[in-house]
Amino acid sequence: MKTRTFMGFVAPSVLAMAILIALPLAGVVYLSLFQSHVQTKLVEIKTSVPVFGGLTQERVDMVSRPVLDSQGRPTTVNEFVGGRNLYQAAEIQRLGEIITKPRESVSLPAAVASMYDEITNLDFWSALEFTLIYTFGTTPFVLAFGFLLALGVNRAAESLKGSLIFVTLLPMIVTPVVSSLSIYWLFIDNAVVATLLQELGLGRIYFLKDAWTIRTLILLYGIWYATPFAFIILYAGLQSVSKESLEAARVDGATRWQAIRLVTLPHLAPLFAVITLIHLMDAYRVFEPILVFGSKVFASSLQYLTFVVLSYEDNVHKAAAYALLTVIGVVLLLTPVLIRTWKEQRAQS
């Protein structure tokens, strides 16, 4: 293919990536390196203060007032602060104080547990903790359930495959907010699940009361929502598995599980890597279930923390710092998977 023709094909994709990814990322980096404040000046204010006998006394005070521009709006000053926003967002100073805090009077396990509790009480580190729990807690189940569903549908009768694929893909078709709400409404205090369990004699269970139940529900939601994506990718991959290789394995005496382990899984290995990469990126940016469940006390995330800072604190620079820390976390998370995949592909070539 000629260079001109190739550039014609890739130019739209490159342009889209520049507009939708590179420019917003550059904006986030820029905002995280600056801090803005309204420029003020001291203004002399004279007031008349009443004293006894109906007399007044003039009082002069110096009051801080915003500097206005030619259109009467407050003047904003942008100050370059370097990594200060990142340092403050990650609460490095407080983290260092907790780590270096003397704990001679307790045993090592108790000291580590106490240190962990104090660290996870910090906003950033609490959000990072559950972000990592969600990411690594859902990934293996998404891969396993997606593969099992793909195997099951692949072995089903042809007349049933269409319906099974449609039903399996339903969680992925629904938007994340709506699917989160559906899980939330199932488990609120007087909803279907709690009422059913009470009717079965298990008593009244409040799923949204404790940290472990809320976190478990969010993890289950993540698995339920992401499994269809793994399923459809692996199901498509199963269509390309060589039937001759499977039949040869059977002739050689391999069991069904051995044929899957020795023939099917190696064939689908690149697809597992792709699903892992995409799900890690998506799971690390978990936001909707945190927002819907209103669980900031028990389960937060870096994306949700960015939203809170931007919406309620109105601090765009701190929010940009959190967003940049999220991007850095995604890169660090994906680097080992990318290196391993690159080595495997290089070895095969």
Answer whether residue 53 shows pLDDT above 70.
Answer: no
pLDDT of residue 1: 54
Q: What is the mean pLDDT of residues 248-273?
A: 85
Rounded Cα–Cα distance for residues 105 and 245 (Å): 64
Helices 211-238 and 123-155: crossing angle in degrees, nearest 10, is 40
Phi-psi group of 286: left, alpha or beta (phi > 0 → left; psi -120 to 50 → alpha; rest → beta): beta
Q: What is the mean pLDDT of residues 129-145?
A: 95
The C-alpha angle with vertex 90 and arms to 305 and 81, in degrees rounded to 5, equals: 105
Q: What is the mean pLDDT of residues 299-315?
A: 88
Which of the listed ranges 45-54, 69-78, 235-244, 275-284 does the model predict with the highest average pLDDT? 275-284
Average pLDDT in the chain:
85
Residue 6 banded pLDDT, cuts 50, 70, 90? low
Task: Give the rounded percent of residues in the chain with a pLDDT score beyond 90.
Answer: 26
Task: Give the rounded percent of residues in the chain with a pLDDT score beyond 70.
Answer: 96
pLDDT of residue 190: 78
Closest CA to 327 of 338, 336, 315, 335: 335
Q: What is the pLDDT of residues 63-85, one digit of tens each?
A: 777 777 777 777 777 888 888 99
Answer whether residue 233 shows pLDDT above 90.
Answer: yes
pLDDT of residue 349: 64
Rounded Cα–Cα distance for residues 101 and 113 (Å): 13
Answer whether residue 259 shows pLDDT above 80.
Answer: yes
Q: What is the pLDDT of residues 98-127, one digit of tens each?
A: 988 887 777 878 888 889 899 989 999 999
pLDDT of residue 152: 92
The C-alpha angle with vertex 110 and arms to 106 and 114, in degrees rounded to 5, equals: 105
Residue 87 banded pLDDT, cuts 50, 70, 90? very high
Query: Token pair for residue 69?
Result: 């521009």
Full DSSP string of 165-179: HHHHHHHHHS-HHHH
pLDDT of residue 158: 86
DSSP β-bridge partners for residue 65: 41
Q: What is the mean pLDDT of residues 171-187?
A: 85
pLDDT of residue 13: 75
Q: What is the mean pLDDT of residues 36-40?
A: 74
Closest CA to 321 of 79, 19, 84, 128: 84
What domains lie within the chain, and their CATH numbers?
37-79 (no CATH), 84-114 (no CATH), 120-348 (1.10.3720.10)
